[in-house]
Amino acid sequence: MTIGPTIRKPDAEDGVAVHRLIAACPPLDTNSLYCNLLQCTHFADSCAVAESEGAVVGFLSGYRLPHAPDTLFVWQVAVGETARGTGVAGQMLMHILRRPENAGVRCVHTTITRTNASSWAFFRKFAKNLDAQCAEEKYFDQDMHLAGGHASEFLLKIGPFEPVAAV
């Protein structure tokens, strides 16, 4: 019997492993190690680590929008090669939504480039599993906001959905 990864809140000790995992998951943007340390500490309530056999195999970073605390913005989803296709991304997102401190979340937002088919598929499947609507709009324009150095990012809005039951 195969046992899946352990999903938990990250902490400072995960910072380097998270940083390396993101670097190994193109097309994700690699942020500074310091940024990843802040995600693992200051934003631990809205982030998750998937760990298998002592190794970090997944990381989902997010935060609650200051102007809309019922919305979780998912910043990045990184799943290592050995854990891809196992559902770990969805497990991490559900783990975050099931935490008591996130009981008020009714919407999930994220941005995705048009060419990132796996992210579009993941988030649309996630919305379907929650019986939630999706809406999208161009958010950060390649030329206007990203100085031509990055493809346009589209905002995907999922929800509202019913509260996810705590575990």
CATH number of 6-158, picked from 3.30.70.1560, 3.30.1490.20, 3.50.50.60, 3.40.630.30:
3.40.630.30
Residue-wise pLDDT for 72-108, tens only, equals 999 999 999 889 888 999 999 999 999 999 999 999 9
Q: Where are the domains of the chain?
A: 6-158
What pLDDT was estimated at residue 150?
87
Residue-wise pLDDT for 1-26, tens only, equals 457 899 999 999 999 999 999 999 98
Q: Looking at residue 12, what DSSP letter applies?
A: G
Give the confidence band of 28 by pLDDT, cuts at 50, 70, 90.
confident
Q: Kindly list the distances between the CA atom of residue 23 and the CA atoms of 17, 53, 73, 81, in Å, as whole numbers in the listed order.
A: 10, 20, 21, 12
160 upstream amide cis, omega within 30 of 0:
yes
Helix axes 15-23, 33-41, angle to 10 degrees: 120
What pLDDT was estimated at residue 41?
97
- Which region holds residue 57: left if phi is over 0, alpha if psi is between -120 and 50, else beta? alpha
What pLDDT was estimated at residue 1?
46
Q: Distance between the two ends of the chain, CA-based, in angstroms?
A: 23
Structure token digits, residue 1: 């019997």
Strand order in the sheet with 68-79: 6-8, 48-52, 55-65, 68-79, 107-113, 153-158, 134-140
